[in-house]
Amino acid sequence: MEIILKAKKKYSICSCGLSDSLPFCDNTHRQFNAENGTEYKSVKITPDNDTTIVVNSSKWNKAKEN
Protein backbone atom coordinates (compact mmCIF):
# COMPACT_ATOMS: atom_id res chain seq x y z
CA MET A 1 0.00 0.00 0.00
CA GLU A 2 1.43 3.37 -0.99
CA ILE A 3 0.83 6.36 1.28
CA ILE A 4 1.90 9.98 1.11
CA LEU A 5 3.39 11.45 4.28
CA LYS A 6 3.64 15.18 4.90
CA ALA A 7 6.80 16.74 6.33
CA LYS A 8 7.00 17.21 10.11
CA LYS A 9 3.69 15.41 10.73
CA LYS A 10 3.74 12.40 13.08
CA TYR A 11 2.23 9.19 11.73
CA SER A 12 1.47 5.94 13.54
CA ILE A 13 1.43 2.84 11.36
CA CYS A 14 -0.47 -0.24 12.55
CA SER A 15 1.59 -3.30 13.45
CA CYS A 16 -1.16 -5.55 14.88
CA GLY A 17 -3.54 -5.60 11.92
CA LEU A 18 -6.62 -4.80 14.02
CA SER A 19 -6.99 -1.10 13.19
CA ASP A 20 -10.15 0.03 11.42
CA SER A 21 -8.11 2.71 9.67
CA LEU A 22 -5.29 0.63 8.12
CA PRO A 23 -2.50 1.31 7.46
CA PHE A 24 -2.79 3.82 10.29
CA CYS A 25 -3.02 2.88 13.95
CA ASP A 26 -6.24 3.59 15.85
CA ASN A 27 -4.90 2.16 19.16
CA THR A 28 -7.00 -1.01 18.97
CA HIS A 29 -3.82 -2.86 20.00
CA ARG A 30 -4.10 -1.47 23.54
CA GLN A 31 -7.21 -3.48 24.42
CA PHE A 32 -5.92 -6.49 22.47
CA ASN A 33 -2.62 -6.37 24.40
CA ALA A 34 -4.44 -6.19 27.74
CA GLU A 35 -6.67 -9.15 26.89
CA ASN A 36 -4.01 -11.34 25.25
CA GLY A 37 -0.76 -10.50 27.01
CA THR A 38 0.80 -9.21 23.78
CA GLU A 39 2.93 -6.12 23.30
CA TYR A 40 1.90 -4.66 19.95
CA LYS A 41 2.91 -1.04 19.37
CA SER A 42 2.46 1.25 16.41
CA VAL A 43 5.39 2.20 14.21
CA LYS A 44 5.98 5.95 14.54
CA ILE A 45 7.16 7.97 11.53
CA THR A 46 7.85 11.73 11.33
CA PRO A 47 9.38 12.53 7.94
CA ASP A 48 11.64 15.56 7.46
CA ASN A 49 10.25 16.08 3.94
CA ASP A 50 7.05 15.19 2.10
CA THR A 51 7.53 11.62 1.00
CA THR A 52 5.75 8.57 -0.35
CA ILE A 53 6.30 5.19 1.28
CA VAL A 54 5.08 1.69 0.59
CA VAL A 55 3.89 -0.26 3.61
CA ASN A 56 2.55 -3.77 3.95
CA SER A 57 2.11 -6.30 6.69
CA SER A 58 1.07 -9.93 6.71
CA LYS A 59 -0.76 -9.12 9.98
CA TRP A 60 -3.16 -6.76 8.19
CA ASN A 61 -4.69 -9.50 6.05
CA LYS A 62 -4.75 -12.17 8.76
CA ALA A 63 -6.42 -9.96 11.37
CA LYS A 64 -9.31 -9.08 9.05
CA GLU A 65 -9.91 -12.76 8.23
CA ASN A 66 -10.47 -13.72 11.91
* pLDDT tens-place string over residues 25-57: 999 999 999 999 999 999 999 999 999 999 888
Buried-state track 13-50, b at ≥16 Cβ within 10 A, e below 16: bbbbbbbeebbebeebbeebeeeeeeebebeeeebeee
Q: How confident is the model at residue 62 (pLDDT cuts 50, 70, 90)?
A: low
Delineate the domains of the chain, giving CATH numbers in brackets: 2-55 (3.40.5.90)
pLDDT digits (tens, 9 = 90+) for 9-21: 999 999 999 999 9
Return phi, psi of residue 34, to 5°: -65, -40
pLDDT of residue 46: 97
Instruction: Tell me if residue 64 falls in helix, strand or coil.
Output: helix
